[in-house]
Structure 1
Amino acid sequence: MKKFIPLEEGDFYLSEEGYKVFTKQYHLKRGYCCESSCRHCPYGYNQKTNTQRRN
């Protein structure tokens, strides 16, 4: 089971369509890539190659 991460100020914003968009801050706090091609993914996931950027 994945651990619950409480949302804090700066973790997301609402898009024009009303969707919650998670920020880089939230993704880093979560600690892993969900491979959903998130807009602010700090892990560099590429959906076409199904790979993550190596640091």
Structure 2
Amino acid sequence: MKKIIPIEEGDFYWTPEGYRCFTEQYHLKRGYCCESGCRHCPYGYNKKN
């Protein structure tokens, strides 16, 4: 079971297209890479490789 991480200010922003984009702050708080190719992934995952 995955741990629920409360959303705090600075964890995400809305893109011009209307999507929620999680920041590096949130990813570090979560503690692991989901391998989805997130825009601000601090773990160095590259979906193209």
Please give the range of the TM-score, normalised by the shorter of the 2 chains: over 0.9
Instruction: Find the structure with the greater CA-based Rg.
Output: 1
Aligned AA (2:25)? Q
Report what 2:39 is aligned to: 39
Query: What are structure 1's unaligned runs of at least 5 residues?
Result: 50-55
- Residue 25 in structure 1 maps to residue 25 in structure 2: yes
Aligned AA (1:23)? T
Report what 1:12 is aligned to: 12
**Separation (CA, whole Å) in 2 of partners of 1:10 and 1:48:** 27
Moved over 6 A (4+): none
TM-score, structure 2 length as denominator? 0.95
Aligned length: 49
**Separation (CA, whole Å) in 1 of partners of 2:35 and 2:29:** 16
**Separation (CA, whole Å) in 2 of partners of 1:3 and 1:34:** 13
**What percent identity do the matched residue pairs reach?**
78
